[in-house]
Amino acid sequence: MLDRRGLVRQLLVERGDLLVVSGLGSATYDVAAAGDHPLNFYLWGAMGGTAMIGLGLALAQPHKRIAVLTGDGDMLMGLGSLATIGVQQPKNLAIVVLDNAHYGETGMQASHTKAGIDLVAVALGCRFKHARVMSRIEDAAEVRKLLHAGEGPILVSARIGEEDVPRVLPIRDGHAIKQRFIAAVNSA
Amino acid sequence: MPTPTDIKTSWPDAIYGHFRRVGIRQVGYVPDAGHSRLIELCQADNAIADVVLTTEEEGVGLVAGAALGGQRAALLMQSSGVGNCINMFSLLRNCGFGCVVFVTMRGEFGEFNPWQVPMGAITEDVLKLAGFLTYRIDDADAVDDIVGAGCDMAFDGNLQVAILLSQRLIGRKQWTR
């Protein structure tokens, strides 16, 4: 099982102008822990919507790379968005599901992936160009390369551990997160 | 002079004209008979990404992502779709994403299907509670004016605007087949 903080840190190292959208809860804390950045759009709510924000961004910025980092619970709630992304076939969009098979924010209840529901198979069924499981930290460099240069849409299901890690809380003001992000995109 | 019939059937063209005017670049929709003409106009336009959704709430995320990337987006949905979006609308309100939603109304004015009525009857109230400014259009000759004003308010002020296209405007659903 992967250490979620170590994994996200490695995926976001030397990120350049990678645009990052993080799903509510632990994914947002993980992305913040890897280092605050104006090109992070942190979600604190809107559960189920993270991948679609990535799609809107990918269509609007076709020459930039978009990475959505989110949890299995958020991805499951927005499962239909994988089909919608499959129709659009954005080459510049990658989704990393930080999959611990549990709902961390609400007390670690089992999620559907705990019962074997296979997000990689769903993504492939939705015509993703590339979908894979990641369970060894040695593969981080390869996955990082996918985020920066792989042909999307891409989905990586990263099998992370269930351990509770300290929360790292980034800014919460939605207007501020948005304005900072837009300004950074314009100057990137 | 256009005849009343021309005006009645050309309201989607009037909306599309405002999409071009204000620079809408992404349009999210779930297929809908009432919006079919407008959807076709958007699909035929290379400057507009037409994004077919599995559920209307996906469109809310799309609008936010488009805005983060510097593009304006519009959503097309039926009144029933508004109910699918309620929690996701908080994203627009919380971050101040300008958005214009076009809602074809069901469950009113001669609706034959009672299952459409509960959501249709509360659609405008729900939108208001979710922070939208709502404008209702009953007459075809008001479309251009109201749509123009609504688009301007949405994108000049980063506001959430919903334009309700009444069943009288779009026509009662015909079930003669």
Candidate from B49, B52, B95 with C-beta closest to A59: B49
Q: Does A53 touch chain B (CB under 8 A)?
A: yes
Q: Which is more confidently placed, A118 or B115?
A: A118
Q: Does A28 touch chain B (CB under 8 A)?
A: no
Listed residue (B49, B22, B39, B99) closest to A62, CA to CA: B49
**Beta strands B99-104 and B72-78, pairing class:** parallel
Percentage above 90 pLDDT, chain A:
97
Listed residue (B123, B66, B122) closest to B92, CA to CA: B66
**What residues 20-79 of chain B have any CB closer than 8 A to a CB of chain A?**
25-26, 49, 51-55, 57-71, 73
pLDDT at B6 over 60: no
Name the one residue in this structure whose structure tokens are 């993703």: A128
| pLDDT number for residue B148 | 98
| pLDDT number for residue B109 | 79
| pLDDT number for residue B177 | 54
Quote the CA–CA distance of B94 and A121 in Å, as a whole number: 34
Q: Does A115 touch chain B (CB under 8 A)?
A: no
**Beta strands A154-159 and B24-29, pairing class:** unpaired
* pTM for the predicted model, two decimal places: 0.96
At residue B51, the 3 state secondary structure works out as strand
| pLDDT number for residue A105 | 86
Chain B CB contacts of A58 below 8 Å: 65, 69
- A:B CB pairs within 8 Å: 121
Chain A CB contacts of B72 below 8 Å: none
List pLDDT tens digits, range B91-123: 999 999 999 999 999 988 788 889 999 999 999
Q: Chain A residue closest to B87 (CA)?
A: A46
Percentage above 70 pLDDT, chain A:
100
Amino acid identity, position B16: Y
pLDDT at B171 over 90: no
Contact A56 B52 (CB under 8 A): no
Q: Which is more confidently placed, B173 or A74?
A: A74
Q: Does A184 touch chain B (CB under 8 A)?
A: no
Chain A CB contacts of B54 below 8 Å: 80-81, 83-84
pLDDT at A170 over 60: yes
List pLDDT tens digits, range B15-62: 999 999 999 999 999 999 999 999 999 999 999 999 999 999 999 999
**What residues 71-110 of chain A have any CB closer than 8 A to a CB of chain B?**
78, 80-81, 83-84, 87-88
Mutate to test the interface with B, among A65, A84, A172, A173 (most CBs of B within 10 A): A84
Candidate from B52, B69, B96 with C-beta closest to A60: B69
Quote the CA–CA distance of A124 and A142 in Å, as a whole number: 19
List pLDDT tens digits, range A24-47: 999 999 999 999 999 999 999 999
Q: How far is A122 from chain B (nearest CA, A)?
A: 15
